[in-house]
Amino acid sequence: MQKLVIDANQKNVGLQFQELWHFKDLFLILAYRDLRVRYAQTFLGLLWAVLQPLCTVTIFVLVFGKGMGITVNNVPYSLFASSGMCAWTYFAFVMNQAGNSIISSQGMIQKIYFPRLIIPLSKAVVGLVDFTITLVFVAVLMLYFQFIPPANIVFLPLFIVLTVMAALGMGIWLSALTIRYRDFQHIIPFMVQFGLYATPVAYPSYMIPQQYQFIYHLNPMAGVVEGFHWSLTGGVTLSQYAYVSYALIILVFITGLFYFRRVEQIMADIV
């Protein structure tokens, strides 16, 4: 049996990947529990993963497609909006769930020791199930419109990785901040609602005036959603400022991990 020694005087803020691997079984159990709870006792089950983005895309089609007449280079508008919703839905779910995950697990945190980072990380796995279903929905739309995806689709895995990093980076930051400042519990839903319209999900990013493009791409998801549109539909080209978003994602993800580790040492006392 492996012996685990917990030293209260140890001030190690390293990421301790070996310790995370040691608790991989707990990580899988938490992810499986969250997935079962998410759709337990629901009549439609996993269909909710399709219905929620489908309703949002329908509103986008009526408001932006029909009402405002937005068109994107011979790409069916509903397909364009759905490709952006894939990335945004996953990001919003993980950020929301991970942001509140430590507070909702305070009973377990105060009773037993384990790397607390496992809790927000497990939310990313649950979100991947919904994300996969929405990607299948986009594939069905492509078949319906007889739309052939461009060669750019080979870069889709790269944008999926960036989406996971962006969601986890924000989620880890918010989960650590929410412990000290409970106001973030109320700010997170607002960030999700505001972010949907501040991200090029329902419209191409080139509609933003050139002088605001740099500020616009300070939103980490702006470049990622743009990448989803580019790789899945080819309806837009990547902005020269998209790399600002990608650099910010890496920065937020790395700093989030280290800040979480710093707070983790006193988490059981203040949660």
pLDDT of residue 7: 60
Question: Tens digits of per-residue pLDDT, 29-64?
Answer: 888 888 887 776 677 777 777 788 888 889 999 998
**Residue 5 included in any domain:** no
Residue 8 has pLDDT above 70, yes or no: no
**Residue 147 included in any domain:** yes
CA distances from residue 264 to 13, 24, 36, 74, 107 in whole angstroms, order as listed: 9, 18, 27, 50, 15
Q: Using an 8 Å Cβ cutoff, are 154 and 80 in contact?
A: no
Across 118-142, average pLDDT: 89
**Residue 62 included in any domain:** yes
State the pTM of this model.
0.87
**Residue 35 included in any domain:** no
**Residue 227 included in any domain:** yes
DSSP 96-131: HHHHTHHHHTHHHHHHS-S-TTHHHHHHHHHHHHHH
Tell me how far apart the alpha carbons of residues 205 and 213 are, in angstroms, rounded to a whole number: 8
Question: Tens digits of per-residue pLDDT, 61-98?
Answer: 999 888 888 888 888 999 999 999 999 999 999 998 88
Q: Using an 8 Å Cβ cutoff, are 271 and 102 in contact?
A: yes
**Residue 3 included in any domain:** no
The answer for residues whose C-beta is within 8 angstroms of residue 105's C-beta and 6 or more apart is 119
Number of domains in the chain: 1
Question: Tens digits of per-residue pLDDT, 89-127?
Answer: 999 999 988 888 888 888 888 888 888 888 888 888 888
Domain limits for position 240: 44-269
pLDDT of residue 234: 87
pLDDT of residue 125: 87
